[in-house]
Amino acid sequence: MGLTKQMVEDIANFSDFHDIAIAHHERWEGSAYPAGLKGEKPPLTGEIMAFADVFDALLSRRPYKDPFPLSYAEVYMRDEKAKHFDPMLVESYERVKDEIIELHNSIQDSSNNFARGRITAILAR
């Protein structure tokens, strides 16, 4: 955590991203790194990024794997409620999933980086 924290703090323009950089590997139930935060203690921005990161990883092609079907990704995300993810985020996803899936598909069809930011903004509602 020290190096990432120092790098983010040293770059004034990235100070708003500190919580994301530090906390997006935390798990809601507290078993992850870097600080093993639990429950509502991890910053919400980090929790949102963690959710978006896992969802994107499941649905995206990677050099080492094919994309999982949407049905699998949705079951996985629901199963991780109150484990990896804040229950509120999973419930928020359920309310706006059509919009998120549409944006995710637009990312896969192009290099639309704006859409990645929109997914995070939708979950933050």
In tens, the pLDDT along 53-75 reads: 899 889 888 889 999 999 999 99
Q: Please write the tens of the pLDDT for every residue from 19-35.
A: 777 777 777 777 766 66
Residue 37: CATH number of its domain: 1.10.3210.10
- The confidence score (pLDDT) of residue 50 equals 86
> Which of the 8 DSSP states describes residue 24?
T
Residue 33 and residue 25 in contact, taking contact as beta carbons nearer than 8 Å: yes
Tell me which residue of 46, 43, 102, 42 sits closest to 70, measured CA to CA.
102
Cα separations (Å) of 69 from 5, 20, 23, 86?
35, 27, 27, 23
Q: Does position 43 have pLDDT exceeding 60, yes or no?
A: yes
- Domain extent for 28: 2-123
Q: Which two tokens stand for residue 112?
A: 């639309």
Which ranges of the chain does DSSP label H, i.e. alpha helix? 2-10, 18-23, 44-59, 70-79, 87-109, 113-123
Which pLDDT belongs to residue 62? 84
* pTM value surpassing 0.75: no
Please indicate whether residue 107 or residue 101 has the higher confidence score (pLDDT).
101
Domain tally, the chain:
1
Work out the pLDDT band at 86, boundaries 50, 70, 90: confident
